[in-house]
Chains A and B, each alone.
Chain A
Amino acid sequence: MNAPVSPHHDVMRSQLGRARGLGSGHSGTGHWIAERVSAATLLPLSGWFVVQMFRLGGADYEEVAEWGGRPLNATMLAALVISSFYHAESGLQVIVDDYVHGKAHVPAKLGVRFVTGILGLLGVVAVLKLALGRPAPKA
């Protein structure tokens, strides 16, 4: 792969020659589309969340916990958390690709994965605990 080439040869290589084998990883389009799809998913989910925040503004613990424990709310919350951090991860990956070069590139990309992944999981676990971990409210 990295056969030693003379500087002369390297400069004389055509742009096409350079691009061959160095270019597309064939995953860019998929990443780009996934980013748009998660953005489109986030629009209705965020709208739902804003409406819920209007309903919950000023509410106390019991009311909010009961709200979060309802199956539909918990499902929507989990969907919101998952799409948010999925979208955040793909966006931050692109930012790292664009601005972090050299040795820091791989650790930065792994760091983005780790942080967004843990945050997303924490959100999902919290929602699951609200939905499953409490006794059903007395009707």
Chain B
Amino acid sequence: MQDVREALYVGSRSDGRLIRRPMSPHLQVYKMRLSMFLSITNRITGVVATAGSALGVAWLAALAKGPKSFAAARKVTGNPLGQIILGGWILSLVWHTVGGLRHFIWDVGKRDDKKSVNEDGPVAVGVIAGVSVTLAAALLGVSCCRSRSRAKLRKAS
């Protein structure tokens, strides 16, 4: 390949052997750090959140189609496996939101020095975990309680 950039990748190891220098950030070369992990997972959670939103649209479509298909959708959302998937959607959305906000703060030129980035990383993890667990547990609790009290009402009437 006659690319001038290739020339910039020629380096030599300490034993003198010529090597192709790594691009940055190169997963196989750099030690995994929290900031790196959070930056990579910001993208991954964006993709996962999109897949979850596709399921959300499927839910909307089932609702628009009628009672039968909505009952089928409720079977999925009421099922433990479905709830794990819902929890994963919530987690990925919260993760991507927190990650996106952090990236935006860096983009405006704040908190982007090494010290702040290393300080904020664990805070971000805490916020992600706290918000997702609270949201998922509260939603699950509310829907369980409500369907149970509804079932009781139906029995009583």
C-alpha gap A126/B64 in the complex (Å): 5
Binds A, one of B14-22, B112-120, B140-148: B140-148
Q: Is the CB of A122 within 8 A of B61?
A: yes
- Is A61 within 8 A of B50, CB to CB? no
- Contact status B47-A92, CB under 8 Å: yes
Contact B142 A127 (CB under 8 A): no
Q: Which of A54, A61, A68, A130 has a CB less than 8 Å from the CB of B67?
A: A61
Contact flags B50-73 to A (C-beta < 8 A → 1, else 0): 100110110011011101001100
A91 and B103 CA atoms in complex are apart in Å by 14
Known contacts A18-B4, A58-B150, A88-B53: does B63 contact A64 (CB below 8 Å)? yes
Number of interface residues of B (CB under 8 A): 37
Chain A interface (Cβ < 8 Å from any Cβ of B):
7, 10-11, 13-15, 18, 36, 39, 43, 46, 50, 53-54, 57-61, 64-65, 68, 77, 81, 84-85, 88, 91-92, 95, 116, 119-120, 122-123, 125-127, 129-130, 133
Q: A39-B100, A126-B61 are in contact. List 17 more A-B contacts (CB 8 A).
A: A7-B2, A10-B3, A13-B4, A57-B139, A58-B145, A58-B148, A58-B150, A68-B63, A85-B50, A92-B47, A119-B57, A122-B57, A123-B57, A123-B60, A126-B57, A126-B64, A130-B63
Number of A-B contacts defined by CB within 8 Å: 95
Interface of A is mostly: helix
What are the nearest 4 A-B pairs in CB distance? A58-B146, A57-B143, A58-B147, A126-B64
Name 8 interchain pairs, CB-CB below 8 A, sorted by A.
Answer: A39-B104, A58-B143, A88-B46, A88-B49, A91-B47, A125-B61, A126-B65, A129-B64
